[in-house]
């Protein structure tokens, strides 16, 4: 039996969910035994195999056209798509900007920051991706498994990965269910 392939990617998030993934410590070795860890932001391979992976994991909300592309690519290549962490599941902290609008958020970030001098301006290079209202992953592509948490606890991630690596669908409830 060939080992299931797992890929992950991040979009608009803080990388904390991937940090929490690394917090599973030695279990990563077990996961690596059970599964074939392919592209991730912390491995050399950067894109999921064109031929497809079994499990695709996404961290972060979808805040711009580039994120959107990442989500569509992962969805099209993964059999099971996992939304990892509150940003991927709900929109999370990045989605706070939806309450004030992109324009105001960019202005606050690039122009009005206390540390910004009078030169501060909103980047407008035409090659930059287009900012959008921040959306949760499931608003853009269908999601098979939601693992909320900010970040999800390492134990929960370990459980999810080992279950998925063995071809089972993890059950996120009870002690494993946290949105905070």
Partner 1 sequence: MVSLTIDGKRIEVPEGTTVLRAAQSAGIEIPTLCDHPELTPYGGCRLCLVEVEGIRNPQPSCTLPASNNMVVQTNTPKIKEARKFVLTLIFSERNHFCMYCQVSGGDCELQNAAYREGMTHWPLQPNWQGYQVDASHPYIIIDHNRCILCRRCVRACGELVGNFTLGFEERGAQSLLVADIGTPLGESSCISCGTCVQVCPTGAMIDRWSAYRGKETQLDHTTSICVGCSLGCGVDLQTRDNHVVRVYGDWENPVNEGILCEVGRFKPMVEKNQRVNVPLVKKNGSLKAATWEEALNTVANALKSSANQTAALISTRLNTESINAFSQIFRDGLKASIVTSLEEGKFTPSGAQKEGTLADIDQADVILIAGEDLTRDHQVLGFAAKRANSRGSKLVVLNAETDGLDAIAAVSLKPKKGAEGEVFSALTSALAGSISEETCKKTGVSLADLNLAAEVLKNARKAVVVCGKEISNQPMSSKLLFTLASKLDAAVVLPKGGANSLAAARQNLDQSFSLNGEKAVFVALGDDTPSQRLLKKLEGVPFLAVQASYYSPLTAQADVVFPVTAWGEETGHYVNYADVLQETKACLTPSEEVWSNLSVLQGLAGKLGINLEG
Partner 2 sequence: MKAYRSMVLVSSDPSSIARGAQEVYQALQAELEKFGLVDEVTLSMVGDIGRHDAAPLVIVYPEAVIYGPVKPSDVPFLVEEHLYKGRIASGLQASVRELSGRIAWISARKGTLPAEKRIVLERAGIIDPTSIDEYILHDGYIALGRVLSEMTPLQVIEEIEKSGLKGRGGAGFPTGTKWKFVSRAQGSKKYVVCNADESEPGTFKDRLILEGDPHSILEAMAIAGYAVGANEGYIYVRGEYKLAQERLAIAIHQAEEMGFLGENIFGTNFSFKVHIHSGAGAYICGEETALLESIEGRRGEPRPRPPYPTTNGLWNKPTLVNNVETLANITPIIRNGGAWYRSIGTPSSPGTKVYTILGKVNATGLIEVPMGITLREVIAIYGKGMKNNASFKLAQTGGSSGSIIPATLQDTPMDFDSFNRAGVSLGSGALLICDEDTCVVDLARVLVNFFRVESCGKCNPCRIGTQRSYEILTAISEGLGTMKDLEYLQTLSDNMNLLSNCGLGQTSGTPLRDVLKYFRAEVEAHIKLKVCPSGICPMSGHIS
Which positions touch partner 1 (CB under 8 A)?
83, 86, 89-93, 95-96, 98-100, 133, 135-136, 138-139, 143, 145-148, 150, 172-173, 177-180
Q: Considering the complex, what minimum distance in angstroms separates the CB of residue 49 from partner 1?
A: 27
When binding is defined by CB under 8 A, the residue of 132, 144, 154, 176 that contacts partner 2 is: 132
Q: Is 180 exposed, middle or buried (0-12, 13-18, 19+ CB in 10 A)?
A: exposed
Is 80 one of the binding residues for partner 2 (CB under 8 A)? no
Longest dimension (CA), the chain: 62
**In the complex, minimum distance from the CB of residue 136 to partner 2, in angstroms, rounded to a whole number:** 13
Tally of CB atoms within 10 A around 127: 4
Contacts of 28 (CB under 8 A, 6+ apart): 22
Task: Give the C-alpha separation, 142 to 33, whole Å.
Answer: 29
Pattern of binders to partner 2 over 133-152, x per CB under 8 A? x-------------------
Q: Which is nearer to partner 1, 34 or 134 (CB)?
A: 134
**Which residues are 59's β-sheet partners?**
10, 84
Instruction: Return residues touching partner 2 (CB under 8 A).
Output: 102, 132-133
């Amino acid at each position: 039996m060939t080992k299931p392939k797992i890929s992950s990617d991040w979009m608009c998030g803080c990388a904390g969910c991937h940090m929490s993934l690394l917090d599973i410590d030695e279990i990563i070795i077990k996961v690596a035994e059970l599964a074939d860890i392919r592209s991730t932001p912390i491995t050399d391979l950067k894109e999921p195999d064109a031929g497809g992976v079994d499990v695709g994991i996404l961290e972060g909300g979808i805040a711009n056209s580039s994120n959107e592309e990442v989500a569509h690519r992962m969805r099209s290549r993964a059999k099971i798509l996992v939304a990892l962490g509150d940003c991927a599941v709900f929109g999370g902290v990045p989605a706070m900007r939806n309450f004030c609008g992109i324009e105001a958020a960019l202005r606050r970030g690039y122009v009005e920051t206390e540390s910004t001098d009078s030169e501060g301006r909103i980047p407008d290079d035409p090659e930059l991706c287009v900012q959008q209202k921040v959306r949760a992953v499931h608003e853009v592509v269908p999601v098979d498994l939601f693992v909320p948490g900010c970040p999800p606890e390492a134990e929960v991630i370990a459980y999810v990965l080992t279950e998925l690596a063995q071809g089972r669908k993890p059950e996120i409830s009870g002690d494993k269910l946290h949105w905070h």
